[in-house]
Structure 1
């Protein structure tokens, strides 16, 4: 479970009047902070967040963002204080509670973390990740009576195929505590295509774990990080790497980087997985990006060491898709593999039609693993995530679909729906308007009219 995203405050006013409405100067400073954070300019981001808070004390999003910066700089105690202030400034800010829980758990303050996760699960009762964090806190606190129902709640909600390794871990914890085992989940593992090439003889340097590194950076204005999704996919990738299932691990880390494009750990580990698969050019790109974003000298040194070794391997590799820097699955995809991917995609769409969103998620994830550049599969998986009320995860899929096919209209509508559900009404309105004005081949007249109506309501 990982973090992170975005006062001295007038406590009584904040509690009585709700979250502070930011002034125009505060909004402008906040946007500069977001941009700086996305580029890894942490000092600049911190200064801009503080400027926003000076203009509007109690600006919850700015407090949350400042906490993100502080966490990334290793100032965990200060980060926890800012996240706590964000929850006080806006008691309904779900992500601030999640961030507070994660940061406090990393700092060993399990009581604070448990309290934050409790509130998060009340505000977001369908998100499995909050329950896992809650179970971990209570288990480590020795409170079995509370850890058991938290793990059981996690198992009951966790249907994502890629997360089943953590369902098994939760079951192990339940068994160790003497709890009754729950029925096995029906989620099945996705197909595992053959690795693109032989792994390198020497493993890349591992990601340094000297201090917390899960803080998310906010990328472009339309890319909102989903730290919980990034963290869970990193965790899944770690488990797959240990099992030597390198290609599946690469996809897990790739999902993490889609969920949070400025996540240093996700980028670093994606580079490692790609290097093991022989994709040295792509690995170098990820390590260079991670080194640019981090302030940690140990991470930078490890990245540079890996880059040096990978470039030596590239010189020996000759002409190959890997040496050319092509990502796994980008092509050429074998006809048989492509056919399997399309069948899985069509099955996923059919399951969405019958409202079997969990089954659709399984099928569409398989389609993506078989053909990673299949944009319509990301769009469809976004729809499945919306059906499961996983709006932030849906947004990540729609955003990546737009990166693959910028001219498509369908992801615009899906992203607008996701943002509206997340309370990001201004951005949702812009996306509805873009869909309504689109002349793309996949646009639908009925949805264009609905988009106009929804955009008008959000003005």
Structure 2
């Protein structure tokens, strides 16, 4: 089961041990609800979950699923009722406890949230997410020793790709509470729950990551809004940005596939759904991806030898001369705006250039520079990283990425990139920047 981070409440797919056995009709309705929820069809999902509950009252998974729908629709108090009912129907239902904690925290009920996260961490001591929520809840309650221990346990446990932003936030909270980022002793950790103590003492510290889930989440929200406005091409680029920011983000990949399919790029959509299906552990998401892939391949046969059928993303095939000229003008305008320190204007122009010619690597490099000017270092890093994917032999993205990482406090990675730039013989390398790179790399030793 995938937890799509802290900004999306978890799906409910797994069947439960110890719960009342649902009828066949209830199980079928529940699975329809899961599939609809994974596609964002909230009303259909709610109707299916209610049908499952009518067939088998007290069905824990359906209660949790209905709670998830209500939460996503902004009906937080109603969602809490269903999450509570799910935990009462099956006290061993881990995801219902997690969802109850998350929803309660969003509703400002830190006491309920702390209790729910305590249950969750006892049931699932190996999952870092519960400790972060527990730390947040205890901090809001003013129970600082327990908050410290929970944050320490989170940092000690967290080693997934793309989660460094949350490690940094936990570290900031610990510093504000006057504590060390990692457990200083068993006594300090033991002030939290036994589950927190066990995880904190038995796991390794977090590593530095290159993914940026916060940026991915932001661009996903942009894409969702654009999809509602039927601005599908712009939505596709928003989801593409999200996938660049976090290559393993299941939601970004799935929604990118959806947007590409609406545009008729079925081959490219299939690639994204297959990636999402490979990365997720959620059976409902995999089923939805498979259904979408089957429909898309049928459409490909109907579509024939068009650029879309060949699997090309919007703009990655032959770009019309007029569109290419518009992209280059937008790029040049962006560069001029960077020179005049109009970084916000530059960001707008360069984004326009990328939308018109998505394979224009220099536009990603320039947009990275605009983001650095705006002190948006994580966004800059995502642009430089994608520019390197487009042109692995270029040097400019190396220097920009080094600057971004240095500003983010990622000294070791920055030093390596400065050294690579200093040693580069690429056509776009600049001797002055090579010397600066040598000096900066030396200072980071």
Say whether 1:247 aligns with 2:233: yes
Q: CA deviation at 1:77?
A: 2.8
Identify the residue that residue 353 of structure 2 maps to in structure 1: 367
Say whether 1:80 aligns with 2:133: yes
Contact 1:80 1:100 in 2 (8 A): no
Identify the residue that residue 278 of structure 1 maps to in structure 2: 264
Identify the residue that residue 96 of structure 1 maps to in structure 2: 166
Say whether 1:302 aligns with 2:288: yes
Identify the residue that residue 364 of structure 2 maps to in structure 1: 378
Hey, what's the Cα distance between the residues in 1 that align with 2:209 and 2:329? 30
Of 245, 264, 267, the match for 2:250? 264
Unmatched runs of 5 consecutive residues or more in structure 1: 6-66, 102-114, 120-220
Hey, what's the Cα distance between the residues in 2 that align with 1:438 and 1:222? 25
- Structure 1 pair 416/256, CA: closer, same or farther in 2 (3 Å)? same
Hey, what's the Cα distance between the residues in 2 that align with 1:98 and 1:347? 36
Say whether 1:315 aligns with 2:368: no
Q: CA deviation at 1:87?
A: 4.7
Hey, what's the Cα distance between the residues in 1 that align with 2:325 and 2:346? 18
Identify the residue that residue 399 of structure 1 maps to in structure 2: 385
Hey, what's the Cα distance between the residues in 2 that align with 1:312 and 1:327? 18
Say whether 1:288 aligns with 2:274: yes
- State the SS of the aligned residue for 2:210: coil
Hey, what's the Cα distance between the residues in 1 that align with 2:150 and 2:327? 44
Q: CA deviation at 1:232?
A: 1.0
Q: CA deviation at 1:328?
A: 0.7
Contact 2:277 2:286 in 1 (8 A): yes
- Structure 1 pair 94/400, CA: closer, same or farther in 2 (3 Å)? closer
- Structure 1 pair 298/366, CA: closer, same or farther in 2 (3 Å)? same
- Structure 1 pair 74/273, CA: closer, same or farther in 2 (3 Å)? farther
Identify the residue that residue 413 of structure 2 maps to in structure 1: 427
Q: Mapping of 1:25-424 within 5 angstroms?
A: 76-78=129-131, 80-81=133-134, 87-88=151-152, 95-96=165-166, 224-424=210-410
List 4+ stretches of structure 1 deviating above 6 A.
Answer: 97-101
RCO comparison, higher one (Cα < 8 Å, 6+) = 1
- State the SS of the aligned residue for 2:318: coil
Aligned length: 278
Show CA shifts across 1:102-138 (max 9, x none).
xxxxxxxxxxxxx97xx8xxxxxxxxxxxxxxxxxxx
Hey, what's the Cα distance between the residues in 2 that align with 1:304 and 1:440? 43
Hey, what's the Cα distance between the residues in 1 that align with 2:209 and 2:310? 28
Of 418, 430, 437, the match for 1:444? 430
CA RMSD of aligned residues (A): 3.2
- Structure 1 pair 434/308, CA: closer, same or farther in 2 (3 Å)? same
Hey, what's the Cα distance between the residues in 1 that align with 2:434 and 2:168? 35
Contact 2:164 2:208 in 1 (8 A): no
Contact 2:381 2:400 in 1 (8 A): yes
- Structure 1 pair 311/79, CA: closer, same or farther in 2 (3 Å)? farther
Worse-matched range after superposition: 77-86 or 343-352: 77-86
Hey, what's the Cα distance between the residues in 1 that align with 2:151 and 2:404? 23
Hey, what's the Cα distance between the residues in 2 that align with 1:263 and 1:98? 19
Q: CA deviation at 1:96?
A: 2.5
Contact 2:365 2:384 in 1 (8 A): yes
Hey, what's the Cα distance between the residues in 1 that align with 2:378 and 2:403? 11
Q: CA deviation at 1:80?
A: 2.6
Hey, what's the Cα distance between the residues in 2 that align with 1:226 and 1:86? 23
Contact 1:4 1:99 in 2 (8 A): no
Hey, what's the Cα distance between the residues in 1 that align with 2:341 and 2:5? 31
Hey, what's the Cα distance between the residues in 1 that align with 2:326 and 2:127? 45
Identify the residue that residue 126 of structure 1 maps to in structure 2: none
